[in-house]
Amino acid sequence: MGSSAPLAIADICDANSHLLTTGELRPLPPVFQIYGKKRYFSGRVVTVKCLEDNLLVREFLAQEGHGRVLVVDGCGSLRSAIIGGILAKKAQSNGWAGIVVYGCIRDVDDVNVCDIGVRALNSSPVKPGKKGNGEKHVPVTIAGTTVCDGDWLCADSDGIIVSSTELNMQSCT
């Protein structure tokens, strides 16, 4: 692998097994579907927790992303989508690296043409509420794994990992 190519998540886990043991490096369970054009993405995490309501998500994605990853704890709900094509396009335009949704998305065909990485449990055609219910910048639990605002997240076709510190994605040393 050339030095300009990022390491595969599996290689990062292999090279950092001690961090897996201590919990410094935490893989998310393999429950996510892959959406968007980017199979690989990484960045500093911003968290939001909301159940079937995306007003707070909308507020974040309207801001400059600066290569960050929005992690949305939708409480695992499959009853409605948290983001769709409009928000995915907004995230792309505003420089977000990716979005991880512990819940559903919609407008899958529109999301899949966006040049960002998106992970979600599945899709639902039902739109979310817009009441502003939820919390920003709080620790969230995604499929049993804690993710904190300010953590680092890396995702590829093999899975998603989070860490309290930025990982060197170019080499194992």
- List, for residues 31-55, the tens digit of each pLDDT value: 999 999 999 999 999 999 999 999 9
- Give the number of other Cβ atoms within 10 Å of residue 112's Cβ: 14
Mean pLDDT confidence for 119-144? 95
Tell me: the pLDDT tens digits for 13-31? 999 999 999 999 999 999 9
Residue 172 has pLDDT above 70, yes or no: no
Residue 169 has pLDDT above 90, yes or no: no
Average pLDDT, the chain: 92
Quick one: pLDDT at residue 137?
Answer: 97
* CATH label of the domain that carries residue 43: 3.50.30.40
**Furthest CA-CA distance within the chain:** 48
Residue 4 or residue 89, greater confidence: 89
Cα(19)–Cα(8) distance, integer angstroms: 16
Give residue 5's pLDDT band: very low, low, confident or very high (50, 70, 90).
low
Residue 62 has pLDDT above 90, yes or no: yes
Q: Tell me whether residue 133 is in a domain.
A: yes
Q: Tell me whether residue 73 is in a domain.
A: yes
Q: Is 134 exposed, middle or buried (0-12, 13-18, 19+ CB in 10 A)?
A: buried
Domain tally, the chain: 1
Residue 170 has pLDDT above 50, yes or no: no
Q: Tell me whether residue 67 is in a domain.
A: yes
Q: Tell me whether residue 1 is in a domain.
A: no
Mean pLDDT confidence for 138-150? 95
